[in-house]
């Protein structure tokens, strides 16, 4: 059975880091997979992947240590089951509000007795050697990341973190800021909630994660105790690099 090295590292109390991919390019996913990140986040919620391109992208990770984690569109059990059957080594679930929702997501993610995941998938024996071995060991190798993205969710974050089977609780900072502002709050309130999640992580032992736009933000969040760090989105990295080339072109050509 393939070991999820990112999960091994996470369970040992270390920090893991990976980029996110929004463009539905299996070839790009393959190139990023070979760079050796702990994990790579394939975004099926806000990204451009179709089921076909996601399935193709996941195949590019089969012989590599970098773990593919798919952010699904919702809590729907069939979708969670489907991406795991495609070969995802982790699933990321958005907009988790409370422990009851987290427990239902656990049931969809893991085989019995921990959950109710249905058995099947033609790719799984490529991960497990045989399907029987995969089914026997998959519960120990799948990383479950749940996202907290509202004030309500963070009010319940300790209970969410204590749900057996939840490996990481990840803040969705953009949705959280939207929710805070809708309630009359500001960036200071947002930061207060972020630090509340960091404190809850220290109390419960469940790693907390953050989506970081800059190197400075990533370093700050690591210093605050966040141990699952997303830094680098293909869309922003590509545009940032092209903007630098554009400015050089204007310098070299006079406009």
What residues are annotated to the active site? 46
DSSP string, 63-117: TSSSEEEEE-SSS-HHHHHHHHHTT-SEEEE----SHHHHHHHHHHHS-TTT--P
Contact (CB, 8 A) for 138 and 81? no
Dihedrals phi, psi of 207, to nearest 5 degrees:
-60, 145
Task: Dihedral sign for Cα 218, 224, 227, 228, please.
Answer: negative
**Could you identify the residue written with the tokens 């497990």?**
128
Question: Among 189, 171, 151, 188, which residue's Cα sits nearest to residue 225?
Answer: 171
CB 20 within 8 A of CB 232: yes
Q: What span, in angstroms and rounded, lies between the C-alpha atoms of 6 and 65?
A: 8
Task: Tell me if 144 sits within 8 A of 168, measured CB to CB.
Answer: yes
Pairing of strands 90-93, 168-171: unpaired
User: Regarding beta strands 208-212 and 16-21, do their DSSP bridges make them parallel or antiparallel, or are they unpaired?
Assistant: unpaired
Write out the H or E segment, with its range, that includes residue 235.
helix 234-253
**Residues 24, 54 contacting (CB under 8 angstroms):** yes
């Amino acid at each position: 059975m393939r070991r999820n090295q990112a999960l091994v590292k996470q369970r040992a109390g270390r920090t893991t880091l990976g980029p996110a991919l929004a463009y539905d390019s299996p070839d790009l996913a393959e190139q990023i997979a070979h760079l050796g990140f702990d994990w790579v986040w394939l975004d099926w919620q806000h990204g451009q992947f179709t089921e076909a391109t996601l399935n193709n992208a996941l195949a590019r990770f089969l012989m590599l240590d970098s773990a593919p984690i798919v952010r699904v569109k919702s809590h729907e059990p069939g979708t969670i089951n489907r991406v795991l059957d495609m070969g995802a080594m982790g699933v990321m679930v958005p907009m988790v509000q409370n422990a009851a929702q987290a427990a239902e997501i656990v049931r969809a993610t893991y085989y019995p007795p921990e959950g109710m995941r249905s058995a099947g998938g033609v790719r799984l024996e490529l991960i497990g050697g045989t399907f029987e071995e995969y089914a026997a060991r998959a519960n120990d190798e799948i990383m479950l990341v749940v996202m907290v993205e509202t004030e309500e969710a963070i009010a319940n974050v300790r209970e969410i973190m204590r749900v057996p089977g939840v490996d990481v609780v990840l803040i969705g900072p953009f949705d959280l800021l939207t929710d805070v502002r809708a309630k009359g709050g500001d960036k200071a309130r947002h930061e207060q909630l972020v630090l509340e999640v960091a404190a809850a992580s220290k109390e419960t032992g469940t790693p907390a994660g953050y989506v970081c736009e800059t190197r400075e933000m990533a370093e700050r969040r690591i210093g605050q105790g966040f141990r699952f760090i997303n830094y680098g989105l293909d869309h922003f990295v590509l545009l940032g690099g092209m903007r630098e080339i554009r400015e050089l072109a204007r310098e070299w050509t006079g406009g």
